[in-house]
Structure formats: structure tokens, C-alpha cells
Structure 1
Amino acid sequence: MKSLFTILFALVTITTFAQKDFQGKAIYMSKTSIDLDNFGGRDGRQVSEAQKKQFLERMKSQLEKTFILDFDKSSSLYKEDAKLEAPTTGGGRGPRFGGFSSQGTKYKNTKDKVALEATEFFGKKFLISDEMVQPEWELGAETKQIGNYTCYKATLLKDPNPLDFSNFRRPRNDDKDDKKEDAEKEEVKQILVTAWYTPQIPVSNGPGEYWGLPGLILEINEGTTTILCTEIVMNPSEKAAIEAPKKGKKITREKYSETVTKKMEELRQNFQGRGNRGGGRGRN
């Protein structure tokens, strides 16, 4: 009986992907954890458990997200499922990190090797282009079941994202701390990325920047972030227009990173300046 079901499922899959106008939709849940043990205040004191809890509650909208991947045989659009944010327990809304919170729309075309991201940072719209070099995945034999799909394991080493907001710490008014933090950044090693893909959906695509495997990627584990597919719809009744974004200032990923880093450093210095004027090491 099981073998008969497998054969029928295979026939349906082959028929589905043989269609010229094939399209699919995948829903992903992304969750990021932050280590607050070394997250100290400006005076160097460790934050309390209550403060950690309050911070995580305010950051929930940034640490837990839902994304939609619309895909066909060679291209895809990946964007956040935008919903009205609920007010935090403090009466306000959680802090937003517009430049590096993965809120842009990511377009990939694995056939033409085109990768674009339309995003906004401090009121300016950017159209970021990425090089689509074939990822050096190491394929494994380990498998696991995700929903109705059998997935295979693959791993990849990548450089850490310099704009990942979880890597930013509250600045302290201590030159020694700054030098120590700079040294720690220099010692950052490559991140191990673990992907789980299914050949049952034979498209070389996946969430975010990920692609290059012989099947749709249903799960990504990258550092402190896990992205898991929770729903797949084949040939949805309402098909999305999978087109490359065109609006925004054209810029390379490298130049965009430099722009954001420069702006964040300006904000950091302003923050430290206000701290010094407000007490701490005030001027005589």
C-alpha cells in the first residue's frame, strides 16, 4: 500500500513540474535567538533577567518573522509577510532595524544568474545586486521528514553577514571595550550553514539568498537563525508575478554594506556623545 502511494505521489509530482506555467508558494517561519549574557549597559554592568525578558519581548517582531517564497522553475521572489505589528507590553512598538532586518524583497533567477534585493534604509530605496556564484554545498546522505517531503542534508561555510543586527552590541563608554570589541570582530570565523532540501520539488531555489541544491530548500540553520518551511502550495489559484524589482538606487552588495556600516557608526558615535553629556565622563 505504501509503495502504491509513493508511485502515485511520484506521478503527480512529475505531472506538476512538467507544466509549462508551473508555479509554487512556500511559507517560511524564521526565528533568531540572541545571547544576552554579555549584553551589558553603558556602565559595564550586566542587565537583569527582567531587563533581558523585556528586551526580547520588544524585539520579538524582529526575531520571529514569516516569509513567502513564490517560485517557478528558475526564478523566485522572497519577501516578508507584512502584517500590522502588535504593540509591545510597554505601550510602544519594538525597535526597528530597517537596513539590516531582511525586510526587502529578494529576487533570484538561477538560470540567468541574476540576484536583486529591493530594500529601504533610513528613507532611501536601494536596489542591491549580488553575484550569483554557485554555492559550494557539501551534500550528505542524512535525511529527515519535513511535512510530506523527504529532505536531504547539505552544508556550506559562509562569511558572517556584517549587517546582522544580532551582532551589534550596545556601545560602552570605554576605549578598552571598543578595542576588545574590534578584536573580537576580527576573530569572527565563517558560519556553518545547514540546509535540508527535497528532490521531490526539483527547483534549485530556497529562502533568502540560498539556492544551488537539487531540490527546494525547506530548512536553513545559520548561526542563531533557523528558517523552516511550514506550508507549500503547488500551482496556487492566484499566481504571483515573479518579476525582478526595478525601483531604488542601483548599488552592489559591497557598497550597500559600506553605506549602512557608515551610518550605523555615525549613530553609535552620536549615542556615545549623548551618554557622555548626560553624566558618565562629563566635560569639565
Structure 2
Amino acid sequence: MQKFTTIILILAFAFIGATKVEAQDFQGKAYYFSKTTMDMSRFGRGRQMNEQEKKQMEDRLKSMFEKTYVLTFNKEESIFIEEEKLAAPGAGRGMGMFGSSFSPGPQYKNIKEGLYLQDQEFFGKQFLIKEELESIEWVMGTETKQIGQYLCFKATAKKRSTQVNIGPPPRRENTETKTDSIKPIEDADKKEEENMIDVVAWYTPQIPVSQGPSEFWGLPGLILEISAGNNTMLCTKIVINPEEKTKIIAPKKGEEVTKQEYNEIITAKMEEFRANRRRGGGGRR
């Protein structure tokens, strides 16, 4: 009975909200705050950092992992762009181009055409990440909560992570090596399981567009909050039909690559970076 009531509520909100998106020139803007947590135990060059050292490292990384974004959307298209802001003195010191190269560029989604594009610069080279819009198998829940003036419903999913490790590699435990033929299968299964992340979304049928921040979409309402792995994005402001419209333009420039190809490029660059540090004395004991 509760589930049936929830479905009725969703349909009612969708019907009410639909009147706001009927206009051909409908557009909205949603502002998000993003925060990413990192496992600080992986830093410290092989030793355990104390609380003061962890705090100093977190402050240095804060500018890299606390961002604000704007999602401009209509019924079919959206583009998700990081807001530019001045960094606090000393914040992210030493990161420079290294840090900016790992910030996601403008992300474009076209629901009608099933297209995902990302304009990405990496160490001075321009890439255009192009993919089919990935379908997410959402599990609709009955739980609700209020975000600002909007009633939101919960949905969950499992999704393959596209995040690339930019920190130190995880410590490897000394375990006995298996020699049987099952080991490669076990390793592949373990890697696949490690690459899957839990996703929790809160969407509002009061804005009945199938859009959301970053690569997330596919729910019967705008996604106002999303938690995926160690990253959380929360909508802090919404403007429906702003006086000044922003033209949503699909990125076009750069070397065209898939997401997997781009991640392989980053991974290879990181391995090269670590190797150079070791050769330069970073690995001396």
C-alpha cells in the first residue's frame, strides 16, 4: 500500500511539474556542491601519518576535492560545468597543473540522442571523451526527504566506477601466490567487484526532467543529491526559466577518445610520474 501511495505521489508531482516544462524554450539551472573523501592512510610514504599531518594533507587537497558546479538543462540536453573560483592562499600548493588536469571538464548529455561528451584537458593536451549515454539500472525506493522546497525520492544503483586513482597506489599485502588456474578468474572477479560502486540518488518529480549532475541521469525527476563511492554532490540552488538563457553547446574540440581510453592515458601518465619520482630520489629510504 505504501509503495502504491508513493507511485501516486510521484505521478502527481510529475503532472504538476510538467506544466512548467511544456514551453519549447524551457531551461533550468541547478547549482551543486561536490565533496570527495580520500583514504589518508595511503599517504605518508609507507608510514602512518599522525592527526596533524592528516589535517595538513586534507587542507592541501581541499581545493581539489571540494568544488561547485552548475548544471544547465532543458528537456533533452544538459551541460555540467565547474564554477571558477579563486583558491585560498596556500591551498593546493604544489598541485598546480597536476591538480587541474584531474578536474573534470564540461560534461554534456543529450538524452534524446543517447550521447555523452566531455571536454577534457590533460597536461596541456585537449581530449573529447565521447560515449553512448550509459544506462543506469535504478532501483526506485519509497523513502523521501526534503531538499530545500522540493520533496525528493530515493533511488539506488550499482555502477562501474570511472574514477582514476591519482594518489599513492594501495599497499599490497604479502600473501601466498596461488599457482592454480583458478587464480586469474578470481583476480578478474575481484577487480570487477572493486570497480563497482554504490550509488544513492535523491530526485524530485516536481522538476520532471531526466537530468542530473555529472554522468547521472535516467530518473523521473531532476537529481538533487547523489552519492557515488567517495563522492557526494548536493544541489544548493535551482533557477527555473532564468531571465538570461544559456545556450547549451556540445563540446567539439580535442582528440576523440572513449572513457576507457582516456583513463588508460591517465594511468600510464601516473605510472610515469611515480617512476620519475622514484628515480629522482623520492623512493630513497
Q: Which residue of 1 aligns with 2:68?
A: 66
Matched residue type, 2:161: P
Contact 2:119 2:253 survives alignment (8 Å): yes
The 5-angstrom pairing of residues 244-255 of structure 1 reads 244-255=250-261
In structure 2, distance between residues paired with 1:257 and 1:129? 13
Matched residue type, 2:63: S
Displacement of 1:132 after TM fit? Answer: 1.3
Displacement of 1:101 after TM fit? Answer: 2.7
Q: Which residue of 1 aligns with 2:128?
A: 127
Structure 1 residues 170 and 48, CA, compared in 2 at 3 Å: closer, same or farther? Answer: farther
| 1:27 aligned onto 2:28 | no
| 1:194 aligned onto 2:197 | no
Q: Which residue of 2 aligns with 1:41?
A: 44
The 5-angstrom pairing of residues 88-103 of structure 1 reads 88=90, 92=93, 94=95, 96-102=98-104
| 1:142 aligned onto 2:122 | no
Contact 2:63 2:87 survives alignment (8 Å): yes
Q: Which residue of 2 aligns with 1:4?
A: none
In structure 1, distance between residues paired with 2:168 and 2:16? 50
Structure 1 residues 89 and 101, CA, compared in 2 at 3 Å: closer, same or farther? Answer: closer
TM-score (norm 1): 0.83
TM-score (norm 2): 0.83
Aligned to 1:271, the other structure's residue is in SS state helix
Q: Which residue of 2 aligns with 1:115?
A: 116
Matched residue type, 2:160: D
Deviations 1:27-56 (A, max 9, x none): 0000111221x22433x2211211111111
Structure 1 residues 14 and 203, CA, compared in 2 at 3 Å: closer, same or farther? Answer: closer
Structure 1 residues 47 and 77, CA, compared in 2 at 3 Å: closer, same or farther? Answer: same
Contact 1:107 1:115 survives alignment (8 Å): yes
In structure 1, distance between residues paired with 2:68 and 2:87? 12
Q: Which residue of 2 aligns with 1:83?
A: 85
Instruction: State which of 254, 271, 278 in structure 2 corresponds to 1:272.
Output: 278
Structure 1 residues 158 and 262, CA, compared in 2 at 3 Å: closer, same or farther? Answer: same
Q: Which residue of 2 aligns with 1:55?
A: 57
Instruction: State which of 209, 217, 228 in structure 1 corresponds to 2:215.
Output: 209
Deviates more, 1:153-162 or 1:106-115: 153-162
Structure 1 residues 117 and 162, CA, compared in 2 at 3 Å: closer, same or farther? Answer: same
In structure 1, distance between residues paired with 2:30 and 2:280? 45
How many equivalent pairs are there? 260
Displacement of 1:253 after TM fit? Answer: 1.1
Displacement of 1:62 after TM fit? Answer: 1.1
In structure 2, distance between residues paired with 1:274 and 1:175? 26
Matched residue type, 1:21: D
In structure 2, distance between residues paired with 1:153 and 1:256? 32
Contact 2:63 2:91 survives alignment (8 Å): no
Displacement of 1:98 after TM fit? Answer: 3.4
In structure 1, distance between residues paired with 2:173 and 2:150? 53
Q: Which residue of 2 aligns with 1:223?
A: 229
In structure 2, distance between residues paired with 1:152 and 1:60? 30
Gaps of 5+ in 2: 1-12, 178-186
In structure 1, distance between residues paired with 2:66 and 2:120? 19
Q: Which residue of 2 aligns with 1:169?
A: 168
Displacement of 1:87 after TM fit? Answer: 1.7
Gaps of 5+ in 1: 1-8
Contact 2:119 2:127 survives alignment (8 Å): yes
In structure 1, distance between residues paired with 2:141 and 2:212? 18
Aligned to 2:24, the other structure's residue is in SS state coil
Q: Which residue of 2 aligns with 1:151?
A: 152
Displacement of 1:229 after TM fit? Answer: 0.3
Deviations 1:94-129 (A, max 9, x none): 554334332x00000001111100010010010101
RMSD: 2.7
